[in-house]
Amino acid sequence: MSLGELTKRDKEHMISIFLLEGHEKPVGPSELATNMEVSRAGALQKMKRLEELGVGDYIPEKGLKLNQEGVSIVEEDIFRHHVIEQFFQETLGLEFEEACKEAEKLGGEMSERMVELIRENCEEDMRCKCGSCLDPPYEPSDLDGCHWLRKKYSLIDKKEAV
């Protein structure tokens, strides 16, 4: 398999693993299943697929740990979302929530060139309205206040409840 075969759903699972600190330690299938609201078997299957795609290492009895390639993909997806969202707010005057929804729809579809052109045409020090810095590398704790990740992944709220 190649990275070109990564689906939107693969990337969503990778972001969840990252937010569960899966760039530093393996995240187990049960934990991923709970956070993604999928079955444990489905989470395990996805983890093995991600390993086959070369974005992480699956360790039996422990789970998946993202490798540097996987972390880079996650950071790029988070970055793309916030750049596009910021552009929609600044240039098109969209309200925060609408800009977020539209950025989610388009983030994975835009070319790197288009995202770079958007960034060049926005403010020098771009910051998402939620306060998340737009300059990777990220740590999961850097993203605690990110409205998009809170809403889409509900991970932060689940971690606080434990």
- Domain 76-157: which CATH class? mainly alpha
Those residues with Cβ within 8 angstroms of residue 81's Cβ, 6 or more apart along the chain or in another chain = 100, 103, 104, 107, 148
Residue 71's nearest CA partner among 14, 122, 31 is 14
For position 161, what pLDDT does the model report? 41
Residue 15 has which token pair? 């972001």
Q: How far is the C-alpha of 19 from the C-alpha of 74, rounded, in Å?
A: 10
For position 157, what pLDDT does the model report? 47
Backbone phi, then psi, for 65, in 5-degree steps?
Answer: -115, 125
Residues of the chain scoring pLDDT < 50:
155-162
Please check whether the two domains, 3-70 and 76-157, share a CATH topology: no
Q: Which fold has domain 3-70?
A: Arc Repressor Mutant, subunit A (1.10.10)
pTM, full prediction:
0.84
For position 112, what pLDDT does the model report? 85
Q: Give residue limits of the domains in the chain.
A: 3-70, 76-157
Terminal alpha carbon distance of the chain:
37
- Which residues share a beta bridge with 146? none
Residue 103 has which token pair? 């950025």
For position 162, what pLDDT does the model report? 39
For position 127, what pLDDT does the model report? 60
